[in-house]
Chain A
């Protein structure tokens, strides 16, 4: 098995095909989208492939150490142009092909007009564990 991180972006990903901000969908379309996401996670729990998932609020900032005795430097809230992550899901699957298959299904979540968003999702492999038995 191999773990993958599926990353969803508020900003910074290539534009989706059905790229309309959520507040301009109908309420029923919003509800359908949320239900799709819940059902997707639930299905992966059922197949034994779900590890974790979280949504991130859009607020945030950069922080770095600024030397002994000084408070950290901060930059933000993020400017409009920043790459901004909206949430993640960690899955534990057979191989990369399965991770791509699942990300494709997730990207088909319904959006405006009930049509798939075709959103770009980032798929990142985790480093694996070192095998206990090595040749």
Chain B
């Protein structure tokens, strides 16, 4: 049985149940139970209409549960409300589920967990492993997220941007456990882009594809981080780059720029350079200007300082950096990089060691420590 196909159907099926009047939490449970039956029964007896089958079984599971614990009156209302079985869902039902799982009343961590479960169709155990928390903790996080959504109306139009932000968080969780969250985020972004045709959904999908294309080059076999300029570009996936660039161009053609399109444009310019030395830094600076204008994000400003250093020389990069707060994450790392380009290796070495202490993850810390060690070794010789 094709697990990906099965999981693609989940949001639509849950959406139909909620549209029919099931509480989201109960609908989601019922769909999970239907999936268990599908996994058990389909290899022997594959249904002609998998989606219709899932809707019918999930609805029956939901009614069974409602019979078990709801009042008699409530039950009769529900049975009366039951529409003809096998009725197909509209795209709207599916989309509403994306909105619901990214609802602004949820914390980002809850929205990520709920999206992975209710939209992505992952099991609680898979999500727990991927996010490195105990399964019981994740079960509780999901239960609380569902409780938060109790009473939220399902038919209110949502904001695509809230969903995009959640999918971007999922993408950046990367890979641990047996589920590849980056690939999962791409799958969901693809579905979202197809349903909404929103230019920023296309922008995010393009951004993810362009970053995913570099994955094989980003770490050595021993797990060491490889800086963009040092990556073996033959390891970049040309098919993903081609697809990402095409999607980005389609989005940009609509002339409604947003932050994900701007970020994807920067990624595309990196992808376009056959060797790091041929990178079009002047255009990259222009895109960072757009990104800063759109978001005001200090992180974008920090990255802009690096790009300015490449385009206009380290001195101007340092001047751009001087306008930012030294408390920003990665500030010391950027300062170290620019000071080395400016020829001050002793200062760069000290800053790299400081940056290693402030790193947000172990591969980054190890990489910065190696940079400090490299400079100190150069200074000794």
Interface positions of A (Cβ within 8 A of B): 21-27, 29-31, 34-35, 38, 55, 57-59
Contact = CB atoms under 8 A, between A and B. Distances in A.
B222 interface: yes
Given A31-B224, A34-B366, A59 B373 contact: no
A30 B225 CA distance: 13
A59 B359 CA distance: 10
15 contacts: A21-B353, A22-B369, A23-B369, A23-B372, A23-B373, A23-B376, A27-B377, A30-B366, A30-B373, A31-B222, A35-B222, A38-B223, A57-B358, A57-B359, A57-B360
A23 B352 contact: yes
B349 interface: yes
Interface residues of B, number: 21
B357 interface: yes
B358 A23 contact: no
A24 B376 contact: yes
A21 B358 CA distance: 16
Contacts of A31: 222, 224, 370
Interface of B: 222-224, 349, 352-353, 356-360, 362, 365-366, 369-370, 372-374, 376-377
Contacts of B365: 55, 57
Contacts of B223: 38
Given A30-B373, A34-B222, A34-B366, 11 more contacts: A22-B369, A22-B373, A23-B353, A23-B356, A25-B373, A27-B370, A38-B222, A55-B362, A57-B360, A57-B365, A59-B357
In terms of DSSP, what is the predominant structure of the interface of chain B? helix
Nearest to B352: A23
A34 B370 CA distance: 11
B129 to A, nearest CB: 14
A35 B374 CA distance: 17
B377 A26 contact: yes
Contacts of B370: 27, 30-31
B349 A23 contact: yes
B364 to A, nearest CB: 11
B132 to A, nearest CB: 10
